[in-house]
A = this chain, B = another copy of it.
Amino acid sequence: VRAYVLSFQCPDQLGVVAQYSQLFLEVGAFITEISNYSDPVSNTFHLRCVFDDRAMTVDFMEFQRRFTAVAEALGMHYQLRPTDELPRVLVAVSRYDHCLNVLLNKWKSGALPARIVGVVSNHTDCRGLVEWYGLPFHYLPVNAETKPQQEAGILAVMQAHQVELLVLARYMQILSDDLCRQLAGRAINIHHSFLPGFKGARPYHQAYDRGVKVIGATAHYVTADLDEGPIIAQEVRAIDHQVSVEQMVHLGHDTEATALSQAVRLHCEQRVQINGQRTVIL
């Protein structure tokens, strides 16, 4: 038995569910997980399902052919993949390694449904950790002059390893608008504040100055508008006046690592669909 995960979005209309499910019934695709959402504002229909071939009466090629016809008729954007083919992920990091460290630990233990294929960094601090996990470490230093070439280097690594998702795990460089566009929907960043509060640099310092009682971290898709991309996951933690900026930085490590690894997990399980500036999590 082989299982597949299908996710799609399309304009909402009468019979969307009937049409795709009729096909599933005809070919004997057995659904084991299903969730969906009709957005009343954008008038879009969103669905994610997992099905297997225990009762399938056609082969997968034929299923794909027939599904494509339905998808075209309904104007779908969709993604269809066997669950045993994990998405290929590249992690980018600078010097702070706490997010990287948790991602690699989860990946190794099987808790992260992804295939991490390597790490890129503009510093060498994390080389030892990455290599201990048996992963290639791509050192791509960058300065104002070399930024275009360095970004080309990142893309080259992505192409060489057929990377589907770039995870910025406290990567402290702002991507160029051009790279943001190329990676639309395929790059996740962790911002160490509860967006939209404290965008930009040194958010914990901003939070301290403002005297907030709760800090947070936000995992979001990268867009050309800095820290404005669609939000996937947010984690929060109560603090009090005693917590210094330095302690916030340390306490924030847990919040950041949890939000980022949660977002990567959701994305890799095809649970996230971008719906304008919002996301639907199925």
A residues bordering B, Cβ < 8 Å? 14-15, 17-19, 21-22, 24-25, 28, 30-40, 55, 96-98, 101-102, 105-106, 109, 111, 128-129, 132, 194-198, 209-214, 216, 230-234, 236, 238, 240-242, 244, 250, 253-254, 257-258, 261, 275-281
- CB contact between A194 and one of B28, B33, B214, B257 (< 8 Å): that residue: B214
Bound CA–CA A159/B21 (angstroms): 42
Residues in B whose Cβ lies below 8 Å from that of A129: 132
Min CB–CB distance A30 → chain B (angstroms): 5
Residues in B whose Cβ lies below 8 Å from that of A281: 240-241
Pull 12 A–B residue pairs with CB atoms less than 8 Å apart, ordered by A.
A19-B25, A21-B21, A21-B22, A33-B38, A35-B35, A98-B105, A101-B101, A102-B254, A195-B197, A209-B278, A210-B231, A212-B234
Residues in B whose Cβ lies below 8 Å from that of A280: 241
- A25 touching B35, Cβ below 8 Å: no
- B277 touching A37, Cβ below 8 Å: no
Bound CA–CA A34/B36 (angstroms): 6
- A28 touching B55, Cβ below 8 Å: no
- A40 touching B236, Cβ below 8 Å: no
- B35 touching A36, Cβ below 8 Å: yes
Bound CA–CA A272/B11 (angstroms): 28
Q: Smallest CB-CB separation from A113: which chain B residue?
A: B250
- B254 touching A236, Cβ below 8 Å: no
**With A197-B197, A253-B106 known to touch, is A244 a contact of B37 (CB < 8 Å)?**
no
- B28 touching A14, Cβ below 8 Å: yes
Residues in B whose Cβ lies below 8 Å from that of A236: 214, 236
Bound CA–CA A21/B22 (angstroms): 8
**With A213-B233, A254-B254 known to touch, is A38 a contact of B34 (CB < 8 Å)?**
yes
Bound CA–CA A173/B219 (angstroms): 36
- A213 touching B231, Cβ below 8 Å: yes
- B25 touching A18, Cβ below 8 Å: yes
Residues in B whose Cβ lies below 8 Å from that of A195: 197, 210, 212
**With A97-B105, A216-B214, A254-B257 known to touch, is A32 a contact of B25 (CB < 8 Å)?**
no
Residues in B whose Cβ lies below 8 Å from that of A38: 31-34
Residues in B whose Cβ lies below 8 Å from that of A242: 35, 37
- B244 touching A40, Cβ below 8 Å: yes
Min CB–CB distance A66 → chain B (angstroms): 14
- B277 touching A209, Cβ below 8 Å: yes
Bound CA–CA A240/B13 (angstroms): 23
**With A21-B21, A25-B18, A28-B14 known to touch, is A111 a contact of B253 (CB < 8 Å)?**
yes
- B33 touching A25, Cβ below 8 Å: no
- A35 touching B33, Cβ below 8 Å: no
Residues in B whose Cβ lies below 8 Å from that of A132: 128-129, 132
